[in-house]
Amino acid sequence: MLGVSLLYAGVPVAAEPNEALVVTQLADPDPDYVAPPDTKGGHRHKAAEEDSLDQAMEQFGQALGQAIQLQQQMMLQRCKASEGAAGTSQGRMAWEAACKYTRR
């Protein structure tokens, strides 16, 4: 079987003639979509909305950064407090898993 397939592997295959490209206009993908109405002064309202969104994103980022920093500080304090404790081998392995790389 392998020999037969290798025998025909080098034979070029005749391609079929080119087919015409057919483009079909499809129906609207969401027929229930209703565009929001245009309102006067919408640009000012949109700019204010974008500013408040930017401010909210910035505040969220700051709060997240502060939470991460607090979490790291708490982990460092926990690691320093339990560094000298010998404990069991399981306790030592848990300490190494959590604190080994925070000492550097």
- pLDDT of 23-67, one tens digit each? 887 777 777 777 777 666 555 566 777 788 889 999 999 999 999
72 located within any domain:
yes
pLDDT at 11 over 80: no
Q: Tell me, yes or no, whether 2 lies in a domain.
A: no
Tell me if 24 is assigned to some domain.
no
In a domain? residue 23: no
pLDDT at 3: 62
Kindly state whether residue 20 falls inside one of the protein's structural domains.
no
What secondary structure does DSSP assign to 38-104, as a single string?
P-TTHHHHHHHHHHHHHHHHHHHHHHHHHHHHHHHHHHHHHHHHTSS----HHHHHHHHHHHTTT--
Domain count, the chain: 1
- What pTM was estimated for this model as a whole? 0.44
- pLDDT at position 53 is 86
Per the domain annotation, does 13 fall within a domain?
Answer: no
The answer to the question of residue 86 being in a domain is yes
Q: What is the extent of the structural domain holding 77?
A: 65-104
